Amino acid sequence: MGTTLDDELDHVERCRAGLRRMLEGARDNVIVGESVAGDRYSAERLGRYLKSLAKELSEEPEGPPFFGRLDFGRDSAEHRGRAYHIGRRHITGENGGPPVVIDWRAPVARAFYRASARDPQGVAVRRRFGWRDTTLTGFEDERLGQGEESESRILAAEIERPRVGPMRDIVATIQPEQDDLVRAELDTSLCVQGAPGTGKTAVGLHRAAYLLYAHRRRLERGGVLVLGPNRAFLGYISAVLPALGEVDVEQTTLQRLLGAVAGAAADEEAAAVVKHDERMAKVLRRALYARIRKPVEPVAVPDGSYRWRVEEDELRRIVDDTRRDSLPYGVGRERVRARVVEAIRRQAEARGQTANAAWLRKIGRAVTTWLDAVWPAVKPEEVLYELLRDPSDPARGVLTDAERDVLTWAEPPRSAKSARWSAADLVLLDELACLIERPRGYGHVIVDEAQDLSPMECRAVARRSEHGSLTVLGDLAQGTTPWAATAWPRHMELLGKPDGEVIALTTGFRVPAAVVELANTLLAALEAQVPATRSYRTDGRLRITRVAGLGKGVVAAVREALAFEGSVGVIAADADVEALTSALWNDGLDVGGRLSVLPASMCKGLEYDHVVVAEPAAIAEAERRGLNRLYVALTRAVSRLDVVHARPLPPQLSLPAEAS
């Protein structure tokens, strides 16, 4: 392996040739795939795989084919004297020779992220490459084998680069404590508590990509699900996994997964609080199972000239036994049917009649009327409709009278069909639907901003990861819902993984130190016990400006911000967004493109190169957890934060000495 830039440029050419070969090979195979595979089913599967590979390779932007290189020393038992280039995807060598690039997820690549001067892991030299677009511009070496380790300029430049466009992958710069989480075993459920910008989202997405690589077969059936807080966030992160070659991960919000549509009804906060409370699980179960009636008379089934009879006592035993089996409601109904049919079959056989499949089906159909009276088929909507009309019975002894009253519809809709469901109702409908029939589970679920999930929402997530594992990402200090988590162990219990380990990430990669310092002054008022963080970034700027008029002040700040490279986000209390957008338009500033104005309620998980937070007091006052919201808003900036205020700042925010 060469060590000069020219040698590396030659290697870039080898990679490009390798990619071309892979693309041609995949295309050829698409053509012949159907004739080589043994049967139609495998032909189709193979064909689909090859087509998607060909598509993936041809659509992949010609990005840098590698970002690092490992030269192993003579003391490495496994890789003695070998060198490997590490990149986003594996690139095959010529004529079946060794690959020219190793996938970052391969076991050998691990040392790229983990080796250090103290523990070189057999690595003599770690090389990091610098690229300008698709051109290789240079590299940095660390001679770990000789105890040399330096602060990487390439690493710092990547972390401090101005942000434009959607979120990018971090494969070239994953930090050791992040790598630990990314490569944790598939069966391990984790909870990552991390301050703003510590890379929780990045870690979650890279974990998804890693698991799909390391456990593709096991995950093929169940799949991987990523849940984020809102659509803007999903839009922001949506390019990361495809850039890593993973296009099959479902990325959505919990609400959308539960079937949310536009125009949902809104709950008063008090009603939402009751609906999201864990005790609702019991209320719903009761409401559903209250539909089951004790059999009060025998069942008679006509069969030609004969009538079969199953006595009341036996029917009661069947229903009671089935209830004790704790099956989903819908499965229980079919089990009761089958047991009644079985009782009739025994009688028939005693009379010397043989019971074939068609006869059994006929008897099964004939008991439906009886079954409908005893264990009726139900739809979740019907159960919830009746519950919200009158929760008295199911809520007795579980909810207080006051809670029962806020749960009750003031004006019930005419029917279950015409009801408009709120966000909280969808969670209740899901609980019911899953009591009736088990939902589809995933092999692995990644939940971002998990601190905001209510106990009932946690249950919805738990049901989808019951037979799989879970990565929970969040920050207790950023909880903004009335039911936000205050401690992770309890939350992990609700999420069905009480043994999941809670791990803290404490180095921030987004927010500059001066901004972190300002935001941290709020922490004491947030009642969240979270570990202190340090910012990796010493660059960046914080400016706090008192203005006479908010609109004018924001326009001036935005004008200045646009002089820099990168995205600009104005974050304001939801009620102020319209007026501020107009002020910017009227001043000839183009909202859209590089400049966004967004309500504080939508800024979670997002980041902008330059952030203007408009009127912190209004953000703090707008909701019960307004200070948490303000904490989120203040921590969206990558390079510069402008705080613009016409009113006094909230007293909980103390200014660092040099900021004002």
Ligand X SMILES: Nc1ncnc2c1ncn2[C@@H]1O[C@H](COP(=O)(O)OP(=O)(O)OP(=O)(O)O)[C@@H](O)[C@H]1O
Residues contributing to the site for ligand X (CB under 6 A): 158-159, 167, 170, 173-175, 178, 194, 196-202, 475, 478, 509-510, 605, 607, 635
State the nearest-atom distance from the C-beta of 325 to ligand X, in Å: 43
How open is the CA angle 242-247-249, to the nearest 5 degrees?
110
Which lies closer to ligand X via its Cβ, residue 197 or residue 332?
197
SS (H, E, C) 581-634: HHHHHHCCCCCECCEEEEEHHHCCCCCEEEEEEECHHHHHHCCCCHHHHHHHHH
Question: Residue 262: which H helix or E strand, with range?
Answer: none
Which lies closer to ligand X via its Cβ, residue 193 or residue 422?
193
Q: Is 134 annotated as a binding residue?
A: no
526 by DSSP, 3-state: which?
Answer: helix
Q: Is 199 annotated as a binding residue?
A: yes
DSSP state at residue 239: T
Q: Is 196 annotated as a binding residue?
A: yes
State the nearest-atom distance from the C-beta of 580 to ligand X, in Å: 23
Which lies closer to ligand X via its Cβ, residue 158 or residue 405?
158
**Token match 């391990």: residue?**
188
Which lies closer to ligand X via its Cβ, residue 478 or residue 481?
478
| Residues in Cβ contact with 658 at an 8 Å cutoff, skipping those fewer than 6 apart | none
Q: Which amino acid is at 434?
A: C
Q: Is 201 annotated as a binding residue?
A: yes
State the nearest-atom distance from the C-beta of 163 to ligand X, in Å: 6
Contact 125, 145 (CB under 8 A): yes
Beta-bridge mates of residue 596: 569
Q: How much of the chain is helix, strand and coil, in % rounded to 5?
A: 45, 15, 40
| Residues in Cβ contact with 406 at an 8 Å cutoff, skipping those fewer than 6 apart | 268, 270, 271, 274
State the nearest-atom distance from the C-beta of 52 to ligand X, in Å: 27
Q: Is 200 annotated as a binding residue?
A: yes
Which lies closer to ligand X via its Cβ, residue 333 or residue 510?
510
State the nearest-atom distance from the C-beta of 130 to ligand X, in Å: 14
Which lies closer to ligand X via its Cβ, residue 122 or residue 512?
512
Q: Is 348 annotated as a binding residue?
A: no
Q: Is 122 annotated as a binding residue?
A: no
Distances in whole angstroms, Cα of residue 319 to Cα of each of 292, 332, 337, 380: 9, 9, 10, 21
Burial of residue 469 (CB within 10 Å: 0-12, 13-18, 19+) is buried
151-157 CB contacts, 8 Å cutoff, 24+ apart: 152/128, 154/128, 154/129, 154/130, 155/128, 157/130
Beta-bridge mates of residue 58: none
Contact 185, 466 (CB under 8 A): no
Which lies closer to ligand X via its Cβ, residue 158 or residue 587?
158
Contact 227, 254 (CB under 8 A): yes
Which lies closer to ligand X via its Cβ, residue 310 or residue 477?
477
Which lies closer to ligand X via its Cβ, residue 510 or residue 610?
510
**Token match 């690549």: residue?**
109
Which lies closer to ligand X via its Cβ, residue 199 or residue 295?
199
Half-sphere exposure of 179 (CA within 13 A, CB side): 17
State the nearest-atom distance from the C-beta of 598 to ligand X, in Å: 14
Terminal CA-CA length for the chain: 55
Q: Which two tokens stand for residue 441?
A: 């589970």
Q: Which two tokens stand for residue 547?
A: 């203005």
Which lies closer to ligand X via its Cβ, residue 163 or residue 444?
163
The dihedral of CA 536, 540, 544, 548: what is its sign? negative
Q: Is 55 annotated as a binding residue?
A: no
Q: Which two tokens stand for residue 643?
A: 């705080």
221 by DSSP, 3-state: which?
Answer: helix
**Token match 């019971």: residue?**
355
Contact 167, 236 (CB under 8 A): yes
Residue nearest to ligand X (CB): 199
State the nearest-atom distance from the C-beta of 102 to ligand X, in Å: 19
Which lies closer to ligand X via its Cβ, residue 159 or residue 363?
159
Q: Which two tokens stand for residue 200?
A: 């929780």
Name the binding residues. 194-201
Name the binding residues for ATP. 194-201
